[in-house]
Amino acid sequence: MAGLFKWLPRKSKQRSIFSRSSASSTSPPLPSPRSVQSSNSPASSSMRSPKQTSSTFHVNLSSSDSARWSKLYDVCICHSEGDLEFVEQMVCYLESQPERFRCFLQLRDAVPGGAIVSELCEAVQNSHCWVLLITSGFLKDPWCVYQMHQALMEAPMANGRIIPVLKDVDRRDYPRELKCIYYISVTAQEKGFGPVKETVMRYLRDLCQNAGRSN
């Protein structure tokens, strides 16, 4: 992937990484629950709606002792070079939320001069969740497939940490390694950023709740 060798300067996590006002001025609309599907279920199947996944009691994800801070990033975005514009919009959306999700974006956050394999592995290991943007470019990119396998090694049972996002790809081309994991189906009109946020939130809530019970 040619873009892997075009490192960009690192920027502060507290600032927006994109200057285009069109990407950050408005939040993308939430898709309907019908757009969240399983690879091995009919196209009309849906996952639980965000309302059903909300925690029954409040968890402060920003508290100084939150288990959230045990890793450097909340979510790592795995994508092909050709999908960068879509990913930029997703990252802008997540980082502009009240929770200020910490996203790993390779062209921004990888260390200049670092080995590609090392940077990809560290990004996976230092993230709570991984968004896999499954497109035709992703399926053809060996580095994307490598990162997907690294995520599966870190969490073979998924447990809400692996978040496949299917875009412009037929269900029959969905990676067989992910067949047991629900995916989010997106279109140009329904970009699926809302369900991605809800999935990351659900995992972080559960993580903090379980950590609180064990203390």
Q: What is the 3-state secondary structure (H, E, C) of the chain?
A: CHHHHCCCCCCCCCCCCCCCHHHHCCCCCCCCHHHEEECCCCCCCCCCCHHHHCCCCCCCCCCCCCHHHHCCEEEEEECCHHHHHHHHHHHHHHHCCCCCCCEECHHHHCCCCCCHHHHHHHHHHCEEEEEEEECHHHHHCHHHHHHHHHHHHHCCCCCCCEEEEEECCCHHHCCHHHCCCEEEEECCCCCCHHHHHHHHHHHHHHHHHHHHHHC
Output the pLDDT for position 139: 97
Superfamily for the 67-215 domain? Toll/interleukin-1 receptor homology (TIR) domain (3.40.50.10140)
- Are 121 and 150 a contacting pair, CB within 8 Å? yes
Output the pLDDT for position 18: 39
Output the pLDDT for position 26: 39
Output the pLDDT for position 89: 94
- Are 109 and 211 a contacting pair, CB within 8 Å? no
Interaxial angle between packed helices 142-154 and 116-125, expressed in degrees from 0 to 180 and rounded to the nearest 10: 40
- Are 161 and 129 a contacting pair, CB within 8 Å? yes
Half-sphere exposure of 161 (CA within 13 A, CB side): 21
- Residue by residue, pLDDT tens for the chain (215 residues) are 444 434 344 444 433 443 333 333 334 443 433 344 444 433 333 344 444 444 444 567 767 678 999 999 999 999 999 999 999 999 999 999 999 999 999 989 999 999 999 999 999 999 999 999 999 999 999 999 999 999 999 998 888 999 999 999 998 999 999 999 999 999 766 788 999 999 999 999 999 888 877 66
Output the pLDDT for position 144: 95
Output the pLDDT for position 188: 64
Model confidence, pTM: 0.72
What are the structural domain ranges in the chain? Answer: 67-215
Output the pLDDT for position 193: 94
